[in-house]
Structure formats: structure tokens, C-alpha cells
Amino acid sequence: MPEDLQILYEDNHLLVVNKPADLATMGVSDNEPSLWRRACAYLKAKYAKPGNVYLGVVSRVDATVTGAVVFARTSKAAARLSEQFREAAVGKIYWALVERPPDPPRGACTDWLLKDEPRRRMMLVAPTVPGAQEARLTYRTLEQLGTATLVEVRLETGRKHQIRVQLAARGWHVLGDEKYGARTRFPRGIALHARRLVIDHPVRHEPLEIVAPLPAYWPQR
């Protein structure tokens, strides 16, 4: 098994991995590492598969973000799971360490986001701007950990950089996220972690809950 490939769940249809920081899920050049390549290598070695391994990317997180990522081991599972994600039928909970305590300590955020292509980031815009996408999430403060605040975020939509930009817009910058204005450094990547996923198993059609342990360098609760 690749050294830092932590398997959270595996059967004939699914593979769920706890992604480390500073590693792209996929979509990088042939000479760069990715989580998808490491997962393929793991399956190929474990099952002594000749040739290429099928592994569909169902969910992904930013390279700087850690936590649960879902792969499908069959095309049927990939299609069914992708539909769940498209229809927002998946429970997605993230944990974030932010620089300032949210005020109020729990609530909902609704914004409209647009890609800023030249700077490769997202920005908040008015809902009337062409191409703007609605972004919704709810949050609650869990506890204070040193100078940072641990916040739980439940995604209602799945926009690019959504949590990072929505929290930063309110002054609750994710530690290490310099792209969106954070001033506090973080040991690896940024302090955003895909903590919990709840999906409908694509074959058994029963709820499957995945919880991803935090990296060891996060402050202990």
C-alpha cells in the first residue's frame, strides 16, 4: 500500500480514501502524483490486476484540503454515485479551523459565486451577474482550540472553494488559506477537512456513513 494511502472503506463497488494535504485528487500532468494514481496502484497491487484498473472519481477535494474522497470501482457505481452528488443527496460535513470565532456561533450562509479565472479563485458576486452560482451552507461552532476555533460545516451545494470563500467573506478565514486572506500558517495545506460523508450504497441501497480521522498535526480535541 502507498505509504500515506489511508483506506476508510472498501468493497467490490467502492473505495473511500482519507486524502492527505498537498496532493491533488486528479487532473494533474503525467509526472505529478495524485490520489487517483495512488489508489489505482493500491488496487492493482492488492488484487494483482493486469493492465489498467478502472477507478471512477466520484468526489474530490482541493489539493490543500484533507479528508474523505470517494472512488467507484465499477462504471455502474460511478454513475449512481455521481447522480447522488449532482442531486445534493449526499450528506457532506467538513471541519475547519478558523482565525476568528464565528458570530453568531451557528447559522446559515447563502452567497453567489463566480470564477475569477485570471487569479484562479472564486469570488462573491450579486445573483444577477451572468454565470453566478448559488452557494449554501450551514455551520456551527464546536469549540475553541488554542487561538483557533473549530467549526463544523454542512454543505448544501458543492461549489468550487465554497467553504473557503464563504467563511473568509465573513472574516472567519481558514488557517493556512492565504489565497483567501488567512494570516495564520498551518503545518500542511489548510485547516479544512472532509470529516463525514453519508451516501446511499450504489448496489445495496442502504445508508453508508464514512468518518475520516483528522491528520495528526491538527490540534487535539
Question: Hey, which residues are catalytic here?
Answer: 62
Residues 6+ apart with CB under 8 A from 54: 73, 74, 75
- Name the CA dihedral angle for 93, 98, 103, 106, rounded to a multiple of 10 degrees: 10
Would you give the DSSP letter of residue 156?
S
Q: How far is CA 199 from CA 32, 102, 137, 209, 215, in A?
A: 30, 29, 18, 7, 23
Residues 6+ apart with CB under 8 A from 197: 16, 59, 68, 70, 90, 91, 92, 93, 209, 210
DSSP 14-28: EEEEEEPSS--SS--
Spatial contact of 150 and 141, defined as CB atoms under 8 Å apart: yes
Alpha-carbon distance 117 to 184, whole Å?
A: 26
